[in-house]
């Protein structure tokens, strides 16, 4: 995103990340057992569709998540970011609330059917290149999720240097990290999502070690959903993912095989592929933008072909309740 967000680095694939009232589109929720949470509030793991919004930007008058009414239509809100060095930005704001205030917010979100998670790394961290141990990093981050009573964690890995080496180090790091997170944050009780850039799903000689296709083959069964940032985040390929066709069917250009249905054809579970997009054409990403009304048509086309995973956006407040209402209007109206 930007500065601390992966969307500044990668807005090319359509799978991005608010608070909302419970959707009426058939969303099913799994409640975490009381023993899985340090408070009385039960966590929610949406099976789909997921409507995810990230928040990293400072907003005057708001510490932590916004009032649920401001993100009606979403069912997952991601506080960004949790870094190797500790929480930053919205994740840090969450820790600055009193335990009582956090409990109140969690109760309001849970009552509205909204899961509250933290997003890890972003463009600030390069965990593989910096030598961070994946097991201890996972243990530390999972403990933070539990300590601050969140519903899970999103892995926004943007270590481009490690992935570009094509030596398998990035893929191996992510697999170990994901396995250990799941050891600490059991499936069905906590959310564990990933938000890679879409080009990492490209069948491309640049990614000889497999990139995110390898990650999915190795630990995809442990991941609740994948939100490819459907933007390019690279210096080439800036026209991909800007129409319904190259978003959904044929990416072409510099990143062949990285449209939604092409990713599924490569073996990724179609209904785990959440479409991620920037909320604004400028500021939230340098490319990959599709206007909300047009994106609504793309979402409807995808649903007609059997896709039901949902939509993610970067970021609040640029894309709040009105943005998701428009994007959902044709395929998943409230």
Predicted confidence at residue 236, as pLDDT, reads: 42
User: Does residue 4 have a pLDDT over 70?
Assistant: no
Measured distance CA(166)–CA(206) in Å, rounded:
7
Instruction: Decide which of 181 and 203 is more confident.
Output: 181
- Nearest Cα neighbor of 18 from 108, 96, 91, 116 is 116
User: Does residue 41 have a pLDDT over 80?
Assistant: no
Class of domain 50-328 (CATH, top level) = alpha beta
Alpha carbon separation from 194 to 116, 177, 203, 212, 321 (Å, rounded) = 15, 12, 19, 10, 23
Predicted confidence at residue 204, as pLDDT, reads: 86
User: Does residue 310 have a pLDDT over 80?
Assistant: yes
Burial of 273 (0-12, 13-18, 19+ CB in 10 A): buried
- Count Cα neighbours of 51 within 13 Å in the Cβ-side half-sphere: 35
Percent of the chain with pLDDT over 70: 83
Measured distance CA(109)–CA(200) in Å, rounded:
33
Predicted confidence at residue 44, as pLDDT, reads: 80
Q: Which two tokens stand for residue 79?
A: 């506080």
Quote the distance between the C-alpha of residue 245 and its chain's center: 22
Measured distance CA(256)–CA(164) in Å, rounded:
17
Predicted confidence at residue 40, as pLDDT, reads: 30
Helix (H) or strand (E) holding 203: none
Q: Quick one: CA dihedral 175, 178, 183, 187, positive or negative? A: negative
- Nearest Cα neighbor of 7 from 281, 302, 334 is 281
Are 317 and 66 a contacting pair, CB within 8 Å?
A: yes
Measured distance CA(15)–CA(228) in Å, rounded:
4
> How confident is the model over 183-213, as pLDDT tens digits?
999 999 999 999 999 999 998 889 999 999 9
Residue 231's pLDDT band, with cuts at 50, 70 and 90, is: low
Predicted confidence at residue 203, as pLDDT, reads: 87
How much is the average pLDDT of 320-329? 98
Predicted confidence at residue 240, as pLDDT, reads: 78
User: Does residue 32 have a pLDDT over 90?
Assistant: no
User: Does residue 285 have a pLDDT over 70?
Assistant: no
Predicted confidence at residue 286, as pLDDT, reads: 61
Helix (H) or strand (E) holding 114: none
Where are the strands (E) in the chain, listed by range?
Answer: 12-14, 29-31, 44-46, 50-55, 76-83, 86-87, 115-121, 152-156, 191-194, 225-226, 229-231, 275-278, 310-314
Least confident of 25-29, 158-162, 239-243, 248-252: 25-29
The model's pTM: 0.88
């Amino acid at each position: 995103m930007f500065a601390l967000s992966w969307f500044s680095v990668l807005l090319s694939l359509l799978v991005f990340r608010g608070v909302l009232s419970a959707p009426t589109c058939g969303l099913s929720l799994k409640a975490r057992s009381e023993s899985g949470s340090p408070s009385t509030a039960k966590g929610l793991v949406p099976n789909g569709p997921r409507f995810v919004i990230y928040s990293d930007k400072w907003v005057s008058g708001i510490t932590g998540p916004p009032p649920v009414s401001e993100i009606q239509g979403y069912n997952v809100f991601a506080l960004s970011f949790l870094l190797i060095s500790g929480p930053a930005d919205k994740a840090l704001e969450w820790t600055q609330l009193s335990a009582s205030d956090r409990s109140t917010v969690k109760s309001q979100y849970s009552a509205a059917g909204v899961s509250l998670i933290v997003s890890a790394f972003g463009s600030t961290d390069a965990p593989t290149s910096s030598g961070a141990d994946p097991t201890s990093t996972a243990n530390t981050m999972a403990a933070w999720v539990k300590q601050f009573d969140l519903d899970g964690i999103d892995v926004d890995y943007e270590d481009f240097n490690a992935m570009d080496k094509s030596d398998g180090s990035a893929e191996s790091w992510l697999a170990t990290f994901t396995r250990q997170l799941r050891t600490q944050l059991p499936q069905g009780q906590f959310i564990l999502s990933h938000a890679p850039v879409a080009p990492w799903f490209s069948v491309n000689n640049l990614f000889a070690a497999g990139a995110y296709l390898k990650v999915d083959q190795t630990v995809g069964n442990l991941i609740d959903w994948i939100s490819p940032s459907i933007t390019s985040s690279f210096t080439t390929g800036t026209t991909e993912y800007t129409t319904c066709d190259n978003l959904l069917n044929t990416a072409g250009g510099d990143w062949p095989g990285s449209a939604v249905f092409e990713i599924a054809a490569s073996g990724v579970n179609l209904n785990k592929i959440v479409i991620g997009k920037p909320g604004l054409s400028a500021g939230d990403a340098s490319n990959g933008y599709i206007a909300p009304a047009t994106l609504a048509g793309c979402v409807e086309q995808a649903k007609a072909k059997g896709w039901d995973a949902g939509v993610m956006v970067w970021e609040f407040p640029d894309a709040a309740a009105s943005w998701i209402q428009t994007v959902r209007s044709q395929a998943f109206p409230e």
